[in-house]
Structures are given as C-alpha cells and as structure tokens.
Structure 1
Amino acid sequence: MDYKTAVKELGKRKINPIYVCYGSEGYFSDDLIRRLTDALIEPDQRPFAVTKYDLAETPLDTVLEDAETLPFMVPQKLVIASNALFLTGAKESGKVEHRTERLLEYIKSPVDYSVLIFTVTADKLDERKKLVKSLKDSGYLVACGTPSAEELSQWVAARAEKLGFRFDRGALERFVLYVGTSLQTLAQELEKCALFIGQGGVLTEDHVEQLVTRTTEQNVFILIEDIVQLKLDRAFTMLHELIKMKEEPIKILMLIARQFRIMYQVKDLTQQGYSQQQIASQIGVHPYAVKIAAGQAAKYDVRQLARILGDLADLDYRMKSGRVDKVMGLELFMMTLAG
C-alpha cells in the first residue's frame, strides 16, 4: 500500500502490527509515525512507550526483543527502527549483523501490544528476498515515494486550507517554484505564510515574493524562468542580487547549465513519447521540476538547447581561464540568450 492508504486505514482504526515505510520522501514516513503515535500513545506516556533505534548501529535482535517485551506502565508501545537497509539490494557497510530470519518468524505471530515500524530511504525494496516477499504478502509495506507534480500542488493547496488560508491565482505555482519540492521545507514555509496572512486570508504572488526564503538553486531557477519569459530586468536584478550575496559566478553558471541540461533531456524524452513521470524517473529529478522544465523548454527546439549547452561549456572554460570577466560573461550570455 502507499502512504495515503495507510493514513486512511489508520483513520478507520485499522492498525497493523508492523509497518515498513520505504521511499525517498521522508516527510511521509515521519508523518505516518506521528499519526500512529497520536493514535496509540497518550502524550504523558510517550517516554515509556516509544523507543527508537538506528539499525546502522543496533542489531535487529535488539529491536525485536524490545517489541516482544511487555510494555512498562502503558498498554501499548511503538518500536521504531530506521535504516533498514537489509530490506534493499544495497550493500551494508556497517559491522552490525542482522539475523533477518528472526523477523521472518516474528511476522508469523507478532505481539498485540507493540507496533513495530521500520523506515528506509530507498525507492525500491529487494523483492527477491524472502523477508521482503513475506512483508509484502502480509500488507506491511508502505510506499512513501515522491508525489507527482499534480499531487504536489494538491498537497500544498490542502495543507494551506488546513492552516486556514488559500492561494490566489498563480501564487501556488510561484510558491512551489520558490520553495522547491521538499515536503518538509514546503510545510515550514506554509506555516510561516499562515502566521502572516491569518485565518481566512488569501496568499498572493506579492506575498510569496516577500515571505518565501529561497536557496541559491531556486534563485537560479527563477532567473532562468525570467530569461525564458523575456523578463530581462527581473533576470538581471536577480543576477546582481546573487553576486551581492557573494555567490560565486562559476557556481551560478554551473546551476544554469544544470537547468538547461534538464530542459534538453525533458525536450528530447518528451519527443520520444515519455510521460513527465517517466522522465522524472529516467533523469532523477522531481516530477514538478520536469513540469517546469517542460514549460521552459517549449520556447526552444532540441538543437537550440544543444547549442546553448555548448555555449555554456565554452563560457565555463573562458571564465576559468581568465579570458573573460566572470560577471560580464554571465551578463553577455543572458543578453545573447534573450536575443
């Protein structure tokens, strides 16, 4: 099952004795653990009822022994174990030995007073392993994968509604463009916006400009968006702001090149018939980034994007060899690109 299904089942008070949360989106696994904690353990009982282990440092035997030990002063307990790499195909570099056959036995007859939660940051588990097959057949696997571009927008809108405000037209897309696709960061920025805008408020694009904290990567992303939309004044303002912030021009150039490389890959794979979700998986970026890159790449054909990448490589060489002033080189590139 996926994260959404697990949350729905929890809402119906259907709670499994074991959960294995896997996937790259740690926010989902953290949220499921929080929901399970709220549903099962009273706040004043949590010091006695919730234990956490890191399987990179603790053997699986210790975790299972804890799960099988009767709870002290509480009716139920949660046992949480992170870094369950033995469920993946990855090689474990640690010296901790995990006797997975013990977990296989536990799955057959789990105790009713403990909920055992494993987490692992991996998009796939190794289904060739008997243990993974057993967990899957028992319905204990919870996929916490990356949401699609549409799901991400829906999640942001729903989260804002829960916090008591809504987005004005165009503001949601700008919000995600500025913040990025990390759910944890998005949640933090949404809470900040909720405090500013108040209950029942409407967040506009101007509010997003004022409130949202942006990384260098996001600023470069916006700079390229402004160039593509021929908003040159904004683009040059953004470039000079980055320079004032002591960002190295070569780093800015590298980030520009990275975005144009993504645009080239998205354009090429789209022409080959790949969906945005497939492209995201193929090139290793978030589906929302693919959606934005597809919009940016619509202004160019594949040959133009290939030429731009060549120009960027040439500019990189000239900047590093001192043949051109770094800031002037970036400005000339932007003017040529806009032209």
Structure 2
Amino acid sequence: MHATEFTRKPKAADGVGLAVLHGGERHLKSTSLALLCQRVLGTSSDEAIGLTKFAAKDLDFKTVRDELQMVSMFSDRKLVLVEDADDFISEFRSQLESYAEKPSHRSLLVLDVKTWRKNTRLAKKVDADGLEIECSELDGGRLTKWLTQQAEEVYQKQLDPQAAQLIPTLAGNSLGLLDQELAKLASYVGDRTRIGEEDVRTLVGGWKAETTWSMVDAIRDGKSGQALACLNKLLYAGEPAPKILGGLNYVFKKFAIASELSRKGGNLQQALKEAGVFPRDVSNVEKYLRRIRRPRAEAILETLAKADYGLKGGSRVPEQLQLEQLVLWLTGVNIEIV
C-alpha cells in the first residue's frame, strides 16, 4: 500500500513480522516509521526503547536475526530497522525469505530500500504475510489531495483547491518542505478556518515567488524587458527552469481557459472569474487578452505544452533561451519559438 494509505490504516502493521519501506520520499518514510513504532512499541519517538537501527554497510544477517530474537528487560516488543538495505537484501535474500516464513512474533524487521522488485520470491512473501509500504513521491492530483488532507487532519484548516495547486508550484514537491509551508500558513491565517490562494501568494516561496509574480504581471502588461529581467534573476539564483515554467503554467492556463469559454459565447469577464482568475486581476487580464488577440490567446495551451516538452528534453535549445522565447511570446512579441 502507499504510505498515504498506511497513515489512515495503521492497523495494517498489527501482527506483521517483516515490513518494507521503499521509495525516495523521505518524509513519507519517516512518517511511516513513526507509525510502525507507535503500533509495535507504543510510542512514535525516534529514541524509543525497543527500537534498534542498523546501517546496512558491513552488516550480516546473523547480527540482525540475533537482535530480533533478543528479549529486553525494558520492553517485550522490538522493532529492528535496516537502513539503505538494498545491498543487504541482495546479499542475504535466501535468509530473508526463510525469515519471512517464520518471523519473530515479538519483533518487527523493517527494511528501508530505494527500489523494490515486486516479482521476487521475497516480495511475494512480504505481500502475503508482511507489509509493503510505498514511499514514492506524489505529484498532480495525488499531491494536492495529500495537501488538502494534511491541512485538515493535522492543522484543522480547509485548503482551497486553487491554494492546494499553487503551494507545490512555489515550494516544490518535497513533502517535508510542503508540510512546513502548511504549518506556516495555518499559523498565518490564525482563527480563520480556510487557507486561500491569496494567503499562499503572500507567504509561500519567499522572494523567488515574488519575482515570479512580478514576471507574470510584466508579461500581462506587455513589459517584455522587465519580464526578461525577472526571468534572468530567477535563473541566476538557481531556480530550476521546470519550476519557473510551472509558475507560468499556473497563471496562463487560466487565461487560456477563459478565452475558450468566451469563444463559446460567454462574457469574457465572467469567463475569467470562472477560470479562477483573482477578481482584482480580471480587468487587467481582460486587457491582456484583448491586446494579444484571440488567435494567440487560443494558442496559449499548445505553446505551454510545447515549452514543457522542450524542457523535458524535446529541444536542443538551451533552457534559458527556451524560457526567454516563451516569455516574449506570452508578452505578445511576434517571435517564432524554436
């Protein structure tokens, strides 16, 4: 099961003798380990009595097995964690397979690995009688769902859908960092029950986020020189090109959607509101769309998709030049994107 599911079904660890944490999302691994400690040892503390951690390097299976079987005078249950256990599993696979058939009833062996092949005999034994917890990174809808649930369950706040989409655009996909941003937002809104997009714009991302908004506003207002200056400032500071594109996507997709809604006969101002444009920005965005004219507005989504493909390896043009071309095109400059 995925770690996000395990946090809601921790009883899945009861009676299990062997568990595997696999994937690259450290926040999910630490959260899952804390839950396992809670179920086995009665506390989630990293220093819990009965918790033993081994580094896999130069570790032999006998040492782990002896630790699992050793009875402590301070605790009748044990949890033994082998960190970075990929090579450990490869070297002692047959012993682990035998252990999985008859694990200790009073101990839980946890293997922390980067990769986990589900077609092996060991994996099938874990699937049948143990617990496999996937700690892979979240993105898209799964990430916004996690943010919404985390805000509600941990911080007792309602996170608006637009805010949930914007937070990772500004702060990245690291769940540990995102959780810190949620904590700051929850404190910032105080007694208010909802966290909105404006709160995220104000608090998340620091000066880089402010520079991104300045770049967006300059593009919207036709100030190509100022927009490029903001772009270069972000790149010089080491902001990844895909993240910069994510900020542009977040804003200009709304403009494109509004343009399509109005094309079908709707009022442009109402279409902008329906697309999620801030009420205070509607007038300026309406001017922007009328300035660049409908053909370019209707090509925004295709152009953004082309830029995304290019930054993912589909173009040999340097990333900076790709972004500069996109910024100029969005500003309304007659330029051919190569």
Is the Cα contact below 8 Å between 2:309 and 2:315 reproduced in 1? Answer: yes
SS at match of 1:181: coil
Kindly report which structure 2 residues correspond to 1:34-113, keeping only aligned pairs within 5 A, or say none.
34-43=34-43, 46-86=47-87, 98-113=91-106
AA partner of residue 101 (structure 2): K
Instruction: Tell me whether 1:172 sits opposite 2:164 in the alignment.
Output: yes
**1:247-284 CA-partner distances (Å, limit 9, x unpaired):** 538x66x7269959xx9xxxxxxxxxxxxxxxxxxxxx
AA partner of residue 172 (structure 1): A
Kindly report which structure 2 residues correspond to 1:280-319, keeping only aligned pairs within 5 A, or say none.
298-300=301-303, 312-313=317-318
Instruction: Tell me whether 1:140 sits opposite 2:131 in the alignment.
Output: yes
Instruction: Tell me whether 1:255 sits opposite 2:241 in the alignment.
Output: yes
Q: Counterpart of 1:210?
A: 202
**CA gap 1:258/1:210 in 2 versus in 1, 3 angstroms:** closer
The offset of 1:40, in angstroms, is: 3.0
Root-mean-square deviation (Å):
4.4
SS at match of 1:21: strand
Is the Cα contact below 8 Å between 2:157 and 2:195 reproduced in 1? Answer: yes
Q: Counterpart of 1:226?
A: 216
Larger Rg over CA atoms: 2
AA partner of residue 128 (structure 2): D
The offset of 1:230, in angstroms, is: 4.7
Is the Cα contact below 8 Å between 1:180 and 1:186 reproduced in 2? Answer: yes
**CA gap 1:116/1:314 in 2 versus in 1, 3 angstroms:** closer
The offset of 1:189, in angstroms, is: 0.9
CA distance in 2 between counterparts of 1:241 and 1:304 reads: 18
Is the Cα contact below 8 Å between 2:215 and 2:230 reproduced in 1? Answer: no
The offset of 1:306, in angstroms, is: 8.2
Q: TM-score, normalised by structure 1?
A: 0.65
SS at match of 1:298: helix
CA distance in 2 between counterparts of 1:32 and 1:305 reads: 34
The offset of 1:74, in angstroms, is: 0.8
Q: Which runs of 5+ in 1 are unaligned?
A: 93-97, 264-295, 317-328
Q: TM-score, normalised by structure 2?
A: 0.65
AA partner of residue 231 (structure 1): R
CA distance in 2 between counterparts of 1:305 and 1:28 reads: 28
CA distance in 1 between counterparts of 2:203 and 2:245 reads: 25
Is the Cα contact below 8 Å between 1:223 and 1:238 reproduced in 2? Answer: no
The offset of 1:157, in angstroms, is: 0.8
The offset of 1:335, in angstroms, is: 2.7
The offset of 1:169, in angstroms, is: 5.6
**1:138-195 CA-partner distances (Å, limit 9, x unpaired):** 3432222333521211110111112022234622222221112111111111111112
Q: Which runs of 5+ in 2 are unaligned?
A: 250-298, 333-338
Is the Cα contact below 8 Å between 1:71 and 1:113 reproduced in 2? Answer: no
Is the Cα contact below 8 Å between 2:21 and 2:113 reproduced in 1? Answer: yes
**CA gap 1:11/1:197 in 2 versus in 1, 3 angstroms:** farther
Matched residues, number: 278
Identity, % of aligned pairs? 18
SS at match of 1:106: helix
Is the Cα contact below 8 Å between 2:67 and 2:80 reproduced in 1? Answer: yes
Q: Counterpart of 1:32?
A: 32
The offset of 1:82, in angstroms, is: 1.5
CA distance in 2 between counterparts of 1:9 and 1:161 reads: 17
SS at match of 2:49: helix
CA distance in 2 between counterparts of 1:213 and 1:100 reads: 45
Is the Cα contact below 8 Å between 1:61 and 1:102 reproduced in 2? Answer: no
The offset of 1:5, in angstroms, is: 4.8
